[in-house]
Structure 1
Amino acid sequence: MIGMHTPTVVLESVPSPRVSWGRPWIPSIGATTIGVVLVVLEPTIGAHRFQWAVAATVTVLSVWLSWVDERTFTLPNRWVGALAAFACVQILGAALVQTSIGPESGAISAAAIAAAIFATLEFAGAVGFGDVKFAAALTLAVGSVAGLFAVYLVPLAFAVSAVRIIARKARGADPRHPHGSSLAVAGTGVLLLAVSL
């Protein structure tokens, strides 16, 4: 009928679900603690065992990150931050103990190069920003043992990614893939080579 209108229903606002980030700083505190313990124990356990312990810790963190990346296509800041915190403790610990900071400056240079290369790739849309952070943190961590030799992590990661792309194309799958695994494999390879020499 003319003049009649339907009643207006007032909808109650529904509160949006609150995202719980938990305690994102806990992995970084844990990694920092492990790093400090290793630095303190180095005189007791010896340089070679110390390097193996650092390599094992970096490998565990990078494999964990690559597993997360494979499942979610993300590299969570809490875990990349933990790897970076561990790497910084190793660099600072070594710099305090040694009279020369040559190996530490080599590690920092390698990390800066890796970050610059991956940042360029990120601007080109080839990788995500998480890959840039992971590449920098992993190269710094590897460099704490390998020095400037850690710069070889980048071309090795590219080679691993190329093999993965070829394999995926051969299967007829989408060649796009998360790069965390390539970085983790490359980092582990460089670490094992550096510790074995």
Structure 2
Amino acid sequence: MSTPPQLSLSRRDVLKLGAGSATSMVIPTVVAEAQGNTAGARAPVTAEVAFEVNGKPRTLQLDTRVTLLDALREHLHLTGTKKGCDHGQCGACTVLVDGRRINACLTLAVMHPGAKITTIEGLGAPDKLHPMQAAFVKHDGYQCGYCTPGQICSAVAVLQEVRDNIPSHVTDDLGARATLSADEIRERMSGNICRCGAYSNIVEAIEDVGGTRA
């Protein structure tokens, strides 16, 4: 049995191996370089991804590490979707992908070929607001407005989840139809943080659009 080659890694190589989200791309290269074999070691840096954004087909040539959030903001210039924490903790980057809400900062753009993506710009326009946008204005569901695009996209998805009878963590009876109570709204919207504290107004706006506000 042949003896496996011994790797001689420098401190810099070790640091490369722990370089966050790029680790999966760096490790094969570092190991190959340490073995003295660099031919074909690097994975492709870019890839083409085609998807539908706000009803329009878009094709981008992207670094495979680019997040969906950065693809939307930096490459398509759809800056309504906000970068808040960039760690999936605040919900400011919420968009709809094939009708389901996701944190755009936590997913790579190349993971969504053929997807139908809707950002806040695709929900409505100033002269033709989406009902949820109009409700946020009516009920003053925002203050600084930074989290508002993500809040609205998430709220639209919440109503669809209820229509699809998808339960939440506070749903009492999993055999019954899902309801749009205030407790359900607060639980389903808990991933969207409003640092200004407009939560009660946001609940009122969602109840209004959902037809449950007295």
TM-score (norm 2): 0.24
Higher strand share: 2
- The structure whose RCO (Cα within 8 Å, separation 6+) is larger is 1
